Amino acid sequence: MKRTVYISALCLLVVSSGAYAQKKKKAGSLDNVSITYLNNSFGTYDKLQKQIWSTPELGFLEEKSSKTLQDHLKSQGFQVEVGVAQMPTAFVATYGSGSPVIGILAEFDALPGLSQDTVPYQKPLAEGTNGHACGHNNFGVGSVAGAVAIKEWLDAGKHAGTIKVFGTPAEEGGGGKVYMVRDGYFKGVDIVLDWHPATGNGVSVGTGTAIQMIDYTFKGIAAHAAGSPDKGRSALDGVEAFDYMVNLLREHVPFSSRIHYVITNGGEAPNVVPEYAKVSYYIRSPQRKVLEDLVTWVNAAAEGAAKGTQTTVSSEVIAGFYEVFYNHTLQKLVQQQLELVGGIKYDERERAFAEAIVKGLGNDLSTLKAAEEVRPLAEERPSTGGGSSDVGDVSWNVPTASFGTAVFVPGSAGHSWQNVASGGTTIGTKGLLNAAKVFALSAIELYSNPKLVEEAKKEFEERRGKDFKYVPLLGDRAPALDYRVKK
């Protein structure tokens, strides 16, 4: 099974758009202990991100990566609760006391088959092994650096306020955040700030899609495929009839829907009628209600296929995420801080690396400007498809904003070898430190201005609606801790 293809569209990358320029308001200042701390800590965080980059671990298996982040937080005085929500690599690290309580999300899982050296041409470190093609090495360390910088500010001014780092495993398909939401770890959190490594610097405005990932298992009767085919009933026939029906129905579903599948088990040998066959589906829509209708239809197709092939079918929801619901009040706040921090400034060596990547992509060198600039805040547009993220479930429970910094060379594709290469260099470290600065400046504004927190919460309640009730799309299942274990 081509795992790379299987998960490639999962991550909801930071979306850019022109739209309208945000009126610049008077923002805070870079002259504070948080920024000074981060300016003096390049070596510390460069080392940490490269440590995680060089031991890329898959979803729910990120023991070393998670521990690296936990150890650093503990060394800085954070209380760390490990193994939360039935996930050994999930953690919540807390510092400070009183309100407001600000949460920062930290991811750290890697992707299979994307090993790559820190060079501007394709060169796997070890063919077929894991790589940080989504920059979660930078992601986790940037979030932790931001939280420690916030701690420095809380300490220096003896300010009231709590900072929490949510170590969220298995973003690439496992949905670690959803279990933490479901088990109540975000209760009492006032604001969530989030980021993602990107090819530019900007606030995220794309709301992506809600998703359900469902495995369908067909069972038939094994028989000699030539000697006694009449005695057999093929589970693979069930899968094929099911996939065929889905491929017919996809013409008649709302345009923004996305349905994709891979057959993960289609039998063992052609001369044996397959007794067992399995197909994994991702079903997505920008709207949860539409997703529910799609899943009902796809389930009916599975039942129909089983009936027509005299097999049986069972299904298991592996994971499910809400579409993202961003808070506009927080987006404006984060935009101001991002503009204050600015883009990435390459040194000579970094520029040569980035130019080689750009040339390799066949792009014009002028595209590199995107790394240096901060995009204006774009207007939120109704999603027309796209990826999904488990940040969605967090964002429907706590007012949330997300942004990106240029950890990757502009023009690089998501989940690409170029991203592994760039994220493992000092470009990645500069990107994560810019993110940490945006976290620190945003938190300082929120701690200093309780009205801002109230405004974000009021907007959240009003736009979410008073009838909203959170029902996880993955039901009451336990985390699929072995979803990346080869069987």
- Taking the least distance from each CB to Zn ion, the nearer of 173 and 320 is 173
Residue 483 structure tokens: 């979803």
Cβ atoms 118, 349 nearer than 8 A:
no
- Please state, in angstroms and rounded to a whole number, the distance separating the CA atoms of residues 473 and 435: 30
Q: How far is CA 287 from the centre of its chain?
A: 19
Number of residue whose CB is nearest Zn ion: 11
Q: Binders of Zn ion among 224-283, rule CB under 5 A?
A: none
- Beta-bridged to residue 213, according to DSSP, are 282, 319
CB of 468 to Zn ion, least distance (A): 27
Q: Which stretch binds Zn ion (CB under 5 A): 3-11, 313-321, 367-375, 398-406?
A: 3-11
CB of 146 to Zn ion, least distance (A): 17
3-state secondary structure of 391: helix
CB of 242 to Zn ion, least distance (A): 28
Q: Which stretch binds Zn ion (CB under 5 A): 4-12, 173-181, 217-225, 299-307?
A: 4-12
- Taking the least distance from each CB to Zn ion, the nearer of 112 and 274 is 112
3-state secondary structure of 36: helix
Residue 225 structure tokens: 């495929």
- Taking the least distance from each CB to Zn ion, the nearer of 134 and 298 is 134
- Please state, in angstroms and rounded to a whole number, the distance separating the CA atoms of residues 18 and 103: 29
Q: Which stretch binds Zn ion (CB under 5 A): 22-30, 130-138, 206-214, 272-280?
A: 130-138
Number of residues lying near Zn ion (CB under 5 A): 2
CB of 11 to Zn ion, least distance (A): 3
Query: Is 11 an interacting residue with respect to Zn ion (CB under 5 A)?
Result: yes
The closest of 240, 231, 167, 177 to 392, measured between CA atoms, is 177
The contact pattern for Zn ion, residues 77-116, with x = CB under 5 A and - = no contact, is ----------------------------------------
- Taking the least distance from each CB to Zn ion, the nearer of 137 and 397 is 137
- Please state, in angstroms and rounded to a whole number, the distance separating the CA atoms of residues 265 and 343: 46
- Please state, in angstroms and rounded to a whole number, the distance separating the CA atoms of residues 143 and 78: 14
Q: Which stretch binds Zn ion (CB under 5 A): 127-135, 187-195, 292-300, 390-398?
A: 127-135
- Taking the least distance from each CB to Zn ion, the nearer of 265 and 419 is 419
- Please state, in angstroms and rounded to a whole number, the distance separating the CA atoms of residues 372 and 405: 10
The closest of 265, 391, 217, 390 to 319, measured between CA atoms, is 390
Helices (H), 158-284: 176-182, 235-249
Q: What is the DSSP letter of 272?
A: B
Q: Which stretch binds Zn ion (CB under 5 A): 7-15, 218-226, 240-248, 338-346?
A: 7-15
- Taking the least distance from each CB to Zn ion, the nearer of 50 and 196 is 196
Query: Is 420 an interacting residue with respect to Zn ion (CB under 5 A)?
Result: no
Q: Which stretch binds Zn ion (CB under 5 A): 6-14, 30-38, 270-278, 315-323?
A: 6-14
Give the number of other CB atoms < 10 A from CB of residue 41. Answer: 17
Residue 349 structure tokens: 């060596």
CB of 450 to Zn ion, least distance (A): 32
- Please state, in angstroms and rounded to a whole number, the distance separating the CA atoms of residues 55 and 271: 42
Q: Which stretch binds Zn ion (CB under 5 A): 8-16, 202-210, 303-311, 351-359?
A: 8-16
Residue 291 structure tokens: 């997703």
- Residues comprising the chain, all counted: 487
Amino acid identity of residue 371, one-letter, is A
CB of 136 to Zn ion, least distance (A): 6
Query: Is 205 an interacting residue with respect to Zn ion (CB under 5 A)?
Result: no
Query: Is 134 an interacting residue with respect to Zn ion (CB under 5 A)?
Result: yes
CB of 404 to Zn ion, least distance (A): 10
Positions that interact with Zn ion (CB under 5 A) = 11, 134
